[in-house]
Amino acid sequence: MRAGEGTIPTPSADGTFMGHPRLLWMLLAVTVGVNFGFYGFRAFLAPYAADTFFASLPHDQALAQANFLFAGFGVLVYATAILGGWVADNVLGEVRSLRLALWLQVAGIACMAVPSLEFFRLAIALYVLAGGLGIPLTVLIGRNYATEDPKREAGYTLFYLAINFAGFFAPLIAGTWIGTHYGFRWGFIAAAVGALFAALLFEWRHHRVPGARDQVRFERWWSVPLVVLVILALLIPCAWLLTHPDAMHGFVYVLFAALLIYFIVKSRRRRDRVQDHRYLALLLLFIALVVFWTLSNLSATALNFFARDHVAPLWSGAVFGIPWSFLNFQSVNPLYILILAIPVAMLWPWLDRHGVNPSTPRKFGIGLLLIGLGYAVLWYATGHLQLAGGKVAAWTLLAYYLGSTVGELALSPIGYGLIGKLAAPEENSLAMGGWFFGVSISYDLMGQVAAFTTRGGIEAYQRVFGWLTIIGLAAALAYLIAAPWILKLMHGVK
């Protein structure tokens, strides 16, 4: 048994704070810094690329190129989690992998400020490769608890709140305030400062984290330099993929096939029927995850441009010192999560006490239902609620985000904790990387969906919103019906 699996050796020495291991709070602060960096530049990445690198193209082509670039970024930042998970499990160990990832992420974000398209793509490549190495952060949250500790799920809820705390403030600071007033190049620098905070904090306390002294099978004194050399060698291929969407599609599905084959082979060798069933349940929930995030991740591309071009301002002037910008919508989803995460988390135990708590598969169906209804609001609004200037009221987009956010709360935090329960113990980081890879596939699909919104004005958005409504509601119905069967495959895991 590896240190950290079912035990809490280091936290017991540090004690607890507010009922949770003290080191959890350090990891949550690191999470805030990491996600401030990520959501800080993600908020304006597509509009920045359209205006800076593709401005000479016709409007619809500029949007399409920016959407494909952003989709490629999203694909790689989550696809590399598979490679990063394997490296963490087998080469560096989880703690050393995260240390290296944090410093490389700082460099990647800072280099995005250079106004050269070729250098910009290389900087994105550096960031996404570093992001893959950072996958152990999610796993280390759970290592602070014994496997059956009832506070484990609450720890992941706090982790989710930390992500969205950063997700709320980062677009307002790096995008609306610094980016809008001083230029988005400085917005990248602001995002890099958040990432630097995370790197410094983890460097200071990493030796106290559970698993810091674990040995992995391929770890050597030269492991870190070797991994850095491999990352440098992969920069140009990753940058090339960002310029070739068709090649990116092929890469995504070849990688998915390889991942699927790996887990099938490992399962056959393990000869554990229960574990096989649990991996099948994970695969089915993985498909629901892909559908949900395909619909949700349009927020930073198609819905970002929709907000800029077709949504009326919510206010005039400044409110609490914040001027109106279409980028403010990028903070709506995390704001809703900060408000609703704890009430929703409390709702499940209350329903459980009354014997009506939906099963995990059914919660995935509920999540799909809610985001489908959110798109139904936009579908109706673009067809029937246009204002005098041809735009729609801001409340319609706020209503969409409410539906998608509550849907996200129904499935996403549960998914994090589910990996540690359904995956084989020796494959936790890789399985977590595979779970994140579902988001990678969703980014690829999102880029293809976003391409249908660039031509035809608001009518093009209306058509796409209609199809997304149908897809969301149909998928929801399928999972709500199949939930009992999927639950049976989980063999007692809830």
- Please give the average per-residue pLDDT across 193-200, as a whole number: 95
Closest to 398 measured CA to CA, from 468, 328, 482: 328
Say how far apart CA 401 and CA 314 lie, in whole Å.
15
The per-residue pLDDT for 14 is 60
Say how far apart CA 176 and CA 182 lie, in whole Å.
10
Residue 6 pLDDT greater than 70, yes or no: no
Specify the range with the lowest mean pLDDT, choosing from 68-82, 83-97, 324-338. 83-97
| pLDDT confidence band for 172 (50 / 70 / 90) | very high
Mean pLDDT of the chain: 86
Cβ–Cβ < 8 Å for 8, 21: yes
DSSP-assigned letter for residue 323: E
Specify the range with the lowest mean pLDDT, choosing from 88-97, 123-132, 425-434. 425-434
The per-residue pLDDT for 25 is 85
- Please give the average per-residue pLDDT across 104-125, as a whole number: 94
Please give the residue that has the higher pLDDT: either 128 or 321: 128
| Any domain includes 1 | no
| pLDDT confidence band for 270 (50 / 70 / 90) | confident
| Any domain includes 33 | yes
The encoded tokens of residue 223 equal: 């492991």
The encoded tokens of residue 209 equal: 């984290």
Please give the residue that has the higher pLDDT: either 211 or 162: 162
Question: Which CATH number goes with the domain that contains 223?
Answer: 1.20.1250.20
Please give the residue that has the higher pLDDT: either 86 or 128: 128
Closest to 408 measured CA to CA, from 488, 329, 335: 335
Residue 262 pLDDT greater than 50, yes or no: yes
Please give the residue that has the higher pLDDT: either 414 or 467: 467
Residue 104 pLDDT greater than 60, yes or no: yes
The per-residue pLDDT for 310 is 94
Q: How many domains does the chain have?
A: 1
The per-residue pLDDT for 212 is 57
- Alpha helices of 271-321 — where are they, by DSSP H? 273-296, 302-310
Residue 290 pLDDT greater than 90, yes or no: yes
Say how far apart CA 88 and CA 430 lie, in whole Å.
8
Q: Which residue range is the domain that position 422 belongs to?
A: 9-489
| pLDDT confidence band for 211 (50 / 70 / 90) | low
The per-residue pLDDT for 356 is 87
The per-residue pLDDT for 213 is 64
The per-residue pLDDT for 133 is 87
| pLDDT confidence band for 419 (50 / 70 / 90) | confident
Single-letter residue type at 288: A
| Any domain includes 429 | yes
Single-letter residue type at 210: P
- Please give the average per-residue pLDDT across 38-57, as a whole number: 92
The per-residue pLDDT for 3 is 34
Question: Which range has the top average pLDDT, 84-88, 198-202, 315-319, 488-492?
Answer: 198-202
Specify the range with the lowest mean pLDDT, choosing from 60-64, 146-150, 314-318. 146-150
| Any domain includes 4 | no
| Any domain includes 69 | yes
Residue 167 pLDDT greater than 50, yes or no: yes
Looking from the CA of 255 toward its CB, the CA atoms found within 13 Å total 22
Helix (H, G, I), strand (E, B) or coil at 422: helix
Residue 429 pLDDT greater than 70, yes or no: no
The per-residue pLDDT for 482 is 94
| Any domain includes 63 | yes
CB neighbours of 60 closer than 8 A, spacing ≥ 6? 454, 455
- Please give the average per-residue pLDDT across 362-388, as a whole number: 94
- Please give the average per-residue pLDDT across 409-420, as a whole number: 75
The per-residue pLDDT for 308 is 92
The per-residue pLDDT for 235 is 93
Helix axes 117-133, 59-87, angle to 10 degrees: 30
The encoded tokens of residue 195 equal: 């990432």
Please give the residue that has the higher pLDDT: either 393 or 420: 393
The encoded tokens of residue 139 equal: 């796993």
Q: What is the pLDDT of residues 340-352, one digit of tens each?
A: 988 887 887 888 8
Specify the range with the lowest mean pLDDT, choosing from 6-15, 270-279, 331-340, 367-376. 6-15
Specify the range with the lowest mean pLDDT, choosing from 10-14, 89-93, 244-248. 10-14
- Alpha helices of 88-220 — where are they, by DSSP H? 94-111, 117-133, 136-142, 152-170, 180-182, 184-205
The per-residue pLDDT for 391 is 92
- Please give the average per-residue pLDDT across 434-451, as a whole number: 88
Say how far apart CA 375 and CA 383 lie, in whole Å.
12
DSSP-assigned letter for residue 454: S
| Any domain includes 494 | no
317: burial class by Cβ within 10 Å (0-12, 13-18, 19+)? exposed
The per-residue pLDDT for 399 is 96
| pLDDT confidence band for 148 (50 / 70 / 90) | low
| Any domain includes 181 | yes
Q: What percent of the chain clears pLDDT 90, i.e. is strictly above it?
A: 46
